[in-house]
Structure 1
Amino acid sequence: MFVFRVLNTVPYTNRAGAKDLVASIHSFFTSNILVGLAVLISWKQFGGTPIECMVPLDFTNAWVQYSNNYCWAQPTYFIPFTAPLVEEITPADVVVDGMARGNGEPRIVKKGGEKVSYYQWMSFFLLFEAACFRLPCFIWKYFASQSGMQVGEILRVSSDENNAVPLVKKANITALCIHLKGVLRFQKRLKLKNIVPHKFLRFLNIKYSAYYVTFIYFVAKLAFLGNVILQSKLLTHYMLPTEKQSRFGFDMWKNIFWGNGGNETWRENGVFPRVTLCDFQPKKNIVMTWQS
């Protein structure tokens, strides 16, 4: 109920402004879902405990709070559960004046992993996505209204339930015809008298043409398609590991739902991991690694 109350306060999410199915899915349903998810995530991040670190038992409450804040502010990294956290390497000998120097003794070093930095920005990213899904409808409403043709009012009157009454239907048809005739008469007058409102920026004269509304309609539809491609690319680049960003991440999602050779979860692929690692160095000058 809290989420619905929040959505009702957002001006562009409280009602569906388009009758077209694709436009409704993009600008109303998807935007509402994304805004609702952003509200839920923000509630947890800013009003709760977004991360809980596994710390030694001798840590005080202040150290635990500091560890949580530090690991939340810093990008953590992920290493698969089946992979070791450290590895043994043998450094190569350094050649000085033609002679090899160095004992070449193996040493233990900490392995690096895939950085996970999107959890902190997820609520803002979802709001950005909601705005992108809403943008094509804003393009259509704003630029279509520049033609002088009240497209929204035409659609509202045409789909009025009272049109089932013959007298109301006749009155609405008459009003629509008068409005459309006036708009087309104005455009025809400009064409016959060869009037060019914009002398220098001639591309602005397109809104005085008869095909302007149709042109904006196709631009809005292309914006829907471009938004889907952009969102897929952003999600792939922003969330998936580097080596799994091919084919817009479709292989990655296939492995999540159907498994790669049997079963693959976040423990192996690192997509939305629930346990990550954070390097933390206290004042004792001893590097410690906590699981967050």
Structure 2
Amino acid sequence: MTKYFQRPYHRPDVYTILRYYTGFGRYDDDFVDRLSRHYSVLIFSIFILIVSSVQFVGKPISCFTPASFTGAHITYTDYVCWISDTYFISFDKDIPEANDFELRQGSHVIRFYQYVPFILMLQTFGFFLPGFFWRRGSSHLGLSLQKYLDQLHMSSHLLL
């Protein structure tokens, strides 16, 4: 009975859990790995939150509408602008006619702005997944990088 009460109880705190899942405190990487795995993922995640909050919560785009449009017309026009390709017109140029096909097919067409959060998400996974697979694979397959580095260092002394 006394042995049961003498056994220390380990209750992991938040810091221990975060260190385990994020890989902080491991010594099988260097600053570049941490930059790629942690800081790039953090920066991209912040950008995803900023861009997504504007796109999905706020007003993602504001298109030019005539003065005669009411609120419902403006909202509908903004939705149509959001889902269709738009094009950039400089302030020093005249607004083209609706049937000006050359401008819509030119180099001024913008097709990617709806997909920016998804592109950032793919980039975030591209930075996160290699380190994630390395940490999971090395811990579950019994790979000890420190052990291999020590053996390599010892064998280099034997060869010289």
Report the TM-score, using the length of structure 1 for normalisation: 0.37
Alpha-carbon shift at residue 150 of structure 1 (Å)? 4.7
Alpha-carbon shift at residue 139 of structure 1 (Å)? 3.1
CA deviation string 1:10-48 (max 9, x = no partner):
x89x84535511111111000010011101111111111
Number of aligned residue pairs:
125
Give 1:46's aligned residue: 56
Alpha-carbon shift at residue 110 of structure 1 (Å)? 4.8
1:64 and 1:78 map into 2 onto residues whose CA distance is 19
SS of the aligned residue for 2:113 comes to coil
Give 1:36's aligned residue: 46
**Is residue 2:138 matched to residue 1:121?**
no
Gaps of 5+ in 1: 1-10, 88-107, 155-179, 181-209, 215-292
Would you say the 8 A contact 1:86–1:111 is kept in 2?
no
Alpha-carbon shift at residue 138 of structure 1 (Å)? 2.1
Of 130, 135, 143, the match for 2:137: 143
Alignment of structure 1 residues 66-85 onto 2, 5 Å: 66-81=76-91
Q: Which structure: larger Rg?
A: 1
1:64 and 1:46 map into 2 onto residues whose CA distance is 18
SS of the aligned residue for 2:50 comes to helix
Would you say the 8 A contact 2:65–2:74 is kept in 1?
yes
Alpha-carbon shift at residue 85 of structure 1 (Å)? 5.2
**Is residue 2:102 matched to residue 1:111?**
yes
SS of the aligned residue for 1:145 comes to helix
**Could you say if the C-alpha distance between residues 39 and 139 of structure 1 is closer, same or farther in structure 2, counting changes exceeding 3 Å?**
same
Gaps of 5+ in 2: 1-17, 153-160
**Could you say if the C-alpha distance between residues 50 and 120 of structure 1 is closer, same or farther in structure 2, counting changes exceeding 3 Å?**
same
2:52 and 2:111 map into 1 onto residues whose CA distance is 16
Would you say the 8 A contact 2:51–2:117 is kept in 1?
yes
Give 2:5's aligned residue: none
Alignment of structure 1 residues 46-195 onto 2, 5 Å: 46-81=56-91, 86=96, 109-112=100-103, 113=106, 114-151=108-145
Alpha-carbon shift at residue 82 of structure 1 (Å)? 5.2
Alpha-carbon shift at residue 119 of structure 1 (Å)? 1.2
CA deviation string 1:47-104 (max 9, x = no partner):
11011122111111110000011100111122445566559xxxxxxxxxxxxxxxxx
Give 2:30's aligned residue: 20
Report the TM-score, using the length of structure 2 for normalisation: 0.64
1:86 and 1:43 map into 2 onto residues whose CA distance is 32
Which amino acid letter does the alignment assign opposite residue 32 of structure 2? Answer: V
**Could you say if the C-alpha distance between residues 68 and 82 of structure 1 is closer, same or farther in structure 2, counting changes exceeding 3 Å?**
same
RMSD: 3.2
